Structures are given as C-alpha cells and as structure tokens.
Amino acid sequence: MINIELVGKSALVTGSGGGIGKATALELAEAGADVIICDINKEAAEATAEEIFTMGRKSRAFTVDVSDAIQVQEMVKAVIADFNKIDILVNNAGITRDGLLIRMKEENWDKVLSVNLKSVYLVTKAVSRYMLKARSGRIVNIASVIGLIGNAGQANYAASKAGVIGFTKSIAREFSSRNITVNAIAPGFIRTAMTDALSDEVKSQMLESIPLGCFGEPSDVANVVHFLVSGMARYLTGQVIHVDGGMVM
C-alpha cells in the first residue's frame, strides 16, 4: 500500500495564517512534513508556525505579500537556505473585493487579479527553479467553483480563479516530464473569515444550491490537498478537483 505520510518533505503554503491555508499547513504537518508559513498577516503567520513547531515539525513564518515579486523571491531564497528544498507548494492566498461590474473600481479589479492570479505565477516561478532541478515536486493551486461557473458581483474574482485553472493546466503540461504534478482544487462554500463576511441572506441562498446540504470546513479542502501531494496521487496532473458538496457537477 502506498503511504500518505509526508515525513522528510518540506511544504510551502501561502496565506496559511488562517482559513483553508492554516488547515492545510496543519494537515501536512500532521502527516510529517516541515511546513513554511507565508501570510501578509504577521501575527497569524507566527501563530500557525508556532502550532506546527509544537507538533514536533520544523516551521518558519514569513510575512510576505505574495503579489510582490521582490518579497516572493527573497522568501524563496531564504526558505532554500534554511530548508534546502521545497517539495510541495500550495498556492492558497486569495482575497475578494466584490461588486457589480458597473460599480467595480479599477483598483479592485487590479488588486484581486494581483493577489489571486499574479501571485500564483510569481511563487510558482520562484519555487519551480528548485523543483525542476530536483526533478520532483507537487504543486496545488486553490481556485474556486466561481472560476468555473461565474457569479454576479464577482467578475474580478471569477476571472482570477479561471486564470488559476488555465495556469494550472499549462504548467502541468510544462512540468510533466520532470515528475512535477500541478493540480487545482475548486472549493465551493467553505466556512472561513472570507465567507463569514457574507450576509445571512446570501448564505441561505448558497446553502440551497449545495446538494450535500451543508457548508464545507477548511479541513475538507486540506484533506484533498494532502491526497494530491502524496504518493497516492502520483498519476494525477492538470486536474481540477471540486470540493463543494456537489454544487458544481
């Protein structure tokens, strides 16, 4: 039987100060990986790293804006100096700045595209140098069902997540000969700070569109990340896995 333990692996998870990113970082650490935490929120990043450290794994927190090329390059250099390698990359950091197109400010378009999509290009490019040399790696990008079906009031977010899916498939093809798999997860409605901000009315409308009849938890996404970065998913690349209680099928 193939093991899903990750002992000896080092994983970088962006946006891992809270929500899905934090649950993923803890899940990978639980499976034995050393986990590098990266978040724009310093206190949150340090708190996650501390939790991982108390689990007996190596960890380090970086306060980084993943849409800033220089900050990303410096972080990856420091990670390699400290951890020697990055076996697993989870591009998770993301934001929303919702509004109908007619009222959407250009700065909210640019910000969402920058944090959700440009960051995936920047971090993947910086990390892949080392994965390509090692001829091994696992990359998981957190997209969204909104990137597949769209949503009124989320044109910027939907475009960014559709972009993440196109990027995932292209890079899966580019890296396949070097034993690097690249997959995406499209979560539906997961209970985090991002979705807590929605009104009760929107939440109950959402709930009606979920066949399994409940919202997802961050651990539901983290479990699928764990599977995708393990030996169990050796033969999977360029795929988009929906973790959405059946919302989109």
Question: Please, what is the minimum distance in Å from the beta carbon of residue 87 to ligand NAP?
Answer: 21
C-beta of residue 8 within 8 angstroms of C-beta of residue 85: no
- Residue 245 near ligand NAP by CB under 6 A: no
x/- string (CB under 6 A) for ligand NAP, residues 17-56? xxxxx-----------------xxx--x------------
Which C-beta is closer to ligand NAP: that of 92 or that of 237? 92
CA separation for the pair 47, 99 (Å, rounded): 32
Instruction: State both tokens at 225.
Output: 């990340």
Which C-beta is closer to ligand NAP: that of 10 or that of 92? 92
Chain centroid to CA 33: 16
Nearest to 16 by CA among 203, 175, 225: 225
Nearest to 130 by CA among 74, 180, 182: 180
Helix (H) or strand (E) holding 142: strand 137-142
- 157 belongs to the catalytic site: yes
Please give the radius of gyration of the chain, using alpha carbons only, rounded to the nearest integer. 17
For ligand NAP, the binding residues in 75-134 under the rule CB under 6 A are: 92-95, 115
For ligand NAP, the binding residues in 188-207 under the rule CB under 6 A are: 189-190, 192-195
Q: Catalytic residues, which ones?
A: 157
Name the site residues for ligand NAP (rule: CB under 6 A).
Answer: 14-15, 17-21, 39-41, 44, 64-67, 92-95, 115, 142, 144, 187, 189-190, 192-195
